[in-house]
Amino acid sequence: MFKRSRRAALLAALAAGSLALTACGGGDDGSSGSAKELKLWHYEGPDSAMGVAWNQAIKEFEASHPGVKVKFEEKGFEQIQKTAPMVLNSKDAPDIMEYNKGNATAGLLAKQGLLTDLTPQVTKRGWDKLLGPTIQTTAKYDAKGVMGGDKWFGIPNYAEYLQVYYNKDMFEKNNVKVPTTFDEFVTALDTFAKKGITPLSNAGAEYMAQQYLYQLALTKADQTWVDNFERYTGKVDFHDAAWTYGATTFADWVKKGYIAKNSVSIKAEDAGTTFISGKFPMMFSGSWWYGRFQKEIKNFEWGTFLWPDTNLTLGSSGNLWVVPQGSKNKDLAYDFIDITMKKGIQNTLGNNGGVPVAADEADVTDAKSKELIKNFTTLTGKNALAYYPDWPVAGFYDTFVAQTQKLINGSATPDKVLTDLQKAYDSGLPK
């Protein structure tokens, strides 16, 4: 998912390219005139389900638009996350780009006037008919940038959720049963730990650690709790039973050796590759790893299971196609989005380890992909998707990373961590 080796160079290039800032906004007529190029950015690896499907979409776009070439530039997730406001407010803005969903990202850019309101195109092209209510929530924002609003500022063409990936060979070798309850899950963690095997791959320097903590909190939460936290519909108390359980249990799991202390500086890419290498029996992370694991895990059998005994888990629509307000070729951008919503591209997503939003399930033939989609259907069927912990307020991602690192290295108590999360959350709420 991330391209760390290129990150520094790409950040430098972005910064250099953004020296000449232009005024925000501009025309919204969507005209592409005699354009010969569509400038597209996304951050999916070429072997991921999205990378494979979107490469196919690029070919179909060029075939259906003679004389127009897609100028694709691969970016990094965090690169775009950190620099998007600066880049989109410059002459270097792409015509279309992938961007993270949520109040602190797409919502913030929409509020700042940096994204095109796609509502007329949604109605005209029928995209709303292809996306269920849960998926639509993260594509629509109000004037304050809060998701679930009345205008479309992005279009997701896939979905995602978190699950536990496990190494079947390590389970069998250590006589560990695949857990179906939370107690069995803890027993499995404890069995591996007592054998000197750290059971959970983790990345303290990026999103993974905070997602463990959030999932633990979700086991004690309900939908009202999620809406209060993510959509500001009620008071949020970081010292309530759910957050307290999440933080204290996460810290306890570090002490017991379920999560390695040296994972404090590990990044998500490294956590994923160490699971691929067979060094960890389990990893709790997103469906975005699925296609890659299908292609790269060669030396052991693997499977997945949903976090046991919880009514809520992390997940949502996938990231969004957004059209910057400064796009020079909006009509072409809309055409490209339209192609990614077609059955052919959706079926390709489904057969390469992605979770399509508008595929013909009969055309998804890969057995593992069917299992992935089945699990997603199970979660959406009980309205179990609870989004992500870094979404509510701008800058919360970095705050959450820093605070969970303190739990891993023991430099702060769960109570202190929750107090600091409360301060960051409260200070970032819309005024």
Domain 160-316+387-428 is in which class? alpha beta
State if pTM tops 0.85.
no
Average pLDDT, stretch 174-188?
A: 98
Per-residue model confidence (pLDDT) at position 26: 34
* Tokens coding 303: 């499977």
According to the model, what pLDDT value does residue 31 have?
Answer: 57
pLDDT band at 23 (very low <50, low <70, confident <90, very high): very low
pLDDT tens digits, 332-343: 999 999 999 999
Instruction: Please state whether beta strands 37-42 and 69-74 pair in parallel, antiparallel, or not at all (unpaired).
Output: parallel
State the pLDDT at residue 370. Answer: 86
Tokens coding 363: 């055309």
Residues 6+ apart with CB under 8 A from 285: 162, 165, 208, 211, 268, 271, 272
Predicted confidence (pLDDT) per residue in 294-309, tens digit: 889 999 999 999 999 9
Tens of pLDDT, residues 354-369: 999 887 777 888 888 8
The pLDDT value recorded for residue 361 is 73
Query: Which residues are CB-neighbours of 391 under 8 A, at least 6 positions away?
Result: 101, 102, 103, 104, 105, 147, 230
Mean pLDDT of the chain: 89
Structure tokens given for 149: 């609003």
Q: State the pLDDT at residue 223.
A: 93
Share of the chain above pLDDT 90, in %: 71
- pLDDT > 70? residue 208: yes
E strands, 123-199, where? 140-141, 151-152, 158-167
Q: Rounded to 5 degrees, what angle do the CA atoms 380, 398, 12 make?
A: 110
Q: What is the pLDDT of residue 33?
A: 63
Query: How far apart, in whole angstroms, are the C-alpha atoms of residue 199 and residue 216?
Result: 16
Helices 49-64, 343-351: crossing angle, 10 deg rounding: 160
Secondary structure element (H or E) that encloses residue 343, with its range: helix 343-351
Q: Residue 128 has what DSSP assignment?
A: G
pLDDT at 9: 36
Question: What backbone phi and psi angles, to 5 degrees, belong to 348?
Answer: -65, -45
CA–CA gap between residue 395 and residue 403 (Å, rounded):
13
Residue 386: closest CA among 310, 287, 316, 286: 316
Above 60 in pLDDT, residue 49? yes
Q: Are 335 and 57 in contact (CB under 8 A)?
A: no
Q: What is the pLDDT of residues 76-133, one digit of tens each?
A: 776 777 777 788 888 889 999 999 898 888 999 999 999 999 999 999 999 999 988 8
pLDDT value at residue 15: 36
The pLDDT of residue 381: 81
Instruction: Let me know if domain 37-157+318-360 sits in CATH 3.40.190.10.
Output: yes
Could you tell me where in the chain the CATH 3.40.190.10 domains are found? 37-157+318-360, 160-316+387-428
